[in-house]
Amino acid sequence: MSKLKFKILKQKWNARVWQITLNGITLTTPVFMPVGTKATIKGLVLDMLKDPKYIWDLPEIQLILANTFHLYLRPGDELIKEAWGLHTFENWDKLILTDSGGFQVFSLWLGKEEVEEDWGRSRKVEEGTHDVKMKLTEDGVKFRSPYDGSKHMFTPEGVVDIQSNFWSDIMMVLDVCSPSGADKKIIEQHMQMTHRRAKRAFDHLKPKYDEVRWVLFPIVQWGTYLDLRQQSVDFLTQYARDGIAVGGVSVWESKELIREVVAFTASKLPADKPRYLMWVGTPEDILHAVEQGFDMFDCVLPTRLGRHGEAFSADWNIKLNNAKYTKDFTPLTSDCWCYACKNFTKAYIHHLLKEKEMLWGILLSLHNILYLHKIVEDRKTNMLAQ
């Protein structure tokens, strides 16, 4: 029996509005999850996502994401367990989804250059001065920390235990994220390895499933090869007890290919389980995925753009460092009523950028998150009204 309770409220063609209840929290999908990589959403106090002063009349955000890879390295999952879990540690009383760290190991090592089959080479990473080596093995993935060069290994069972120490609500299995453009033979090997890892992870969780608060999602990967996507869905559906995730659609593929894969994969997923599309975070891509039947989304793009002075709007991204906004005393946008849009002009935020005042990143990150939140909330409202 599933711990994650869900029921359909409305469906129009493939798009759907679901009610999900887990650990005493009820939310409706589709839903965008802000990314709190290191137990914080960069630049924001988490209470801002629930306070009407900042979000106006939008519903509270009730689900955020945290990053297993980074939190495992610093401050460590044992410390977070000692602090009574991630919710207490970061003072968040809603739901938390944690990823498996598989993509981070992949992304820290991988450049856009040609990829060796064993992924055994090393390169410098932007975040630190240490060589990062990553090696796939049947047991798991070996890697060096980008912080201090120390050696580590993620296994399917170990990643479940790490996320359990976080007291996550929704956990992800340790998958293999194949690089865009890789040879199909290599990608198929990665797929089979991920399938074996999924079995190990769920076998590890099964004896204690009824005693713990968390649930575990498998992840469908495999790039733009639709036949491999089909094979992966067929295999992983047996583990989609509480939901299923889809990755590998934001690793340098073209937008056309991404949308083809999203539409195809959505049509093959179990119809009675929540569907989580990973790493998708532009307004148009989220709306496209909603129409295909996906329910949950996450991406670092809103806060990343905010820190670089860009704001989502109905027409195009507003680049506030542009000189034309020096004397633009109009609101940030006219189709959003968040704290930034209600209280500040483009000229003021442009001034903050030029003076390198950190408030600009706070305001634009808040706006961008709430802009995506408003898009999915408006879509739900329209569907329920029909």
User: DSSP string of 243-293?
Assistant: -EEE--SSSS--HHHHHHHHHHHHHHS-TTS-EEETT--SHHHHHHHHHHT
Average pLDDT over residues 49-66: 97
Average pLDDT over residues 261-280: 96
The per-residue pLDDT for range 307-323, each reduced to its tens digit, is: 999 999 998 999 999 99
Look up residue 31 and give its two tokens.
Answer: 């839903």
Confidence (pLDDT) at 305: 97
Q: 189 and 222 in contact (C-beta within 8 Å)?
A: no
Average pLDDT over residues 201-223: 94
* The pLDDT of residue 116 is above 70: no
Look up residue 377 and give its two tokens.
Answer: 């909330």
Average pLDDT over residues 174-191: 86
Average pLDDT over residues 280-297: 96
* The pLDDT of residue 111 is above 50: no
Confidence (pLDDT) at 119: 32
Q: 229 and 261 in contact (C-beta within 8 Å)?
A: yes
Residue type, 47: D
Confidence (pLDDT) at 357: 98
Average pLDDT over residues 113-125: 34
Confidence (pLDDT) at 33: 98
Average pLDDT over residues 180-193: 88
Domain range for 370 is: 302-386
The percent of residues in the chain predicted with pLDDT above 70, rounded, is 92
Average pLDDT over residues 107-117: 43
What are the phi and psi torsion angles at 346 (to 5°)?
Answer: -60, -35
Arithmetic mean of pLDDT over the chain: 91
Reported as a pLDDT band with limits 50, 70 and 90, residue 131 is low
Edge to edge, what strands does the sheet with 170-172 contain? Answer: 63-66, 95-98, 170-172, 215-217
Flag whether 177 is in a domain: no
Flag whether 308 is in a domain: yes
Q: What is the number of structural domains in the chain? A: 1
Flag whether 378 is in a domain: yes
Reported as a pLDDT band with limits 50, 70 and 90, residue 251 is low
Flag whether 337 is in a domain: yes
Q: What would you report as the CA-atom Rg of the chain, rounded to the nearest whole angstrom?
A: 21
Specify the higher pLDDT residue, 286 or 224: 286
Confidence (pLDDT) at 224: 86
Confidence (pLDDT) at 250: 62
* The pLDDT of residue 211 is above 50: yes
Average pLDDT over residues 195-202: 98
**Residues near 214 by beta carbon (within 8 Å), at least 6 away in sequence:** 163, 164, 167, 168, 169, 170, 171
Flag whether 203 is in a domain: no
* The pLDDT of residue 219 is above 50: yes
Confidence (pLDDT) at 146: 86
Q: What's the residue count for the chain?
A: 386
Average pLDDT over residues 294-307: 97
Active site residues: 99, 298
Flag whether 363 is in a domain: yes
Average pLDDT over residues 113-132: 38
Look up residue 288 and give its two tokens.
Answer: 């496209």
Reported as a pLDDT band with limits 50, 70 and 90, residue 102 is confident
**Residues near 302 by beta carbon (within 8 Å), at least 6 away in sequence:** 34, 281, 312, 365, 368, 369, 371, 372
Confidence (pLDDT) at 347: 98
The per-residue pLDDT for range 355-382, each reduced to its tens digit, is: 999 999 999 999 999 999 999 999 999 9
Flag whether 125 is in a domain: no
Q: 292 and 14 in contact (C-beta within 8 Å)?
A: yes
Q: Decide: helix, strand or coil at residue 88.
A: helix
Residue type, 194: T
Flag whether 133 is in a domain: no
Average pLDDT over residues 18-45: 97
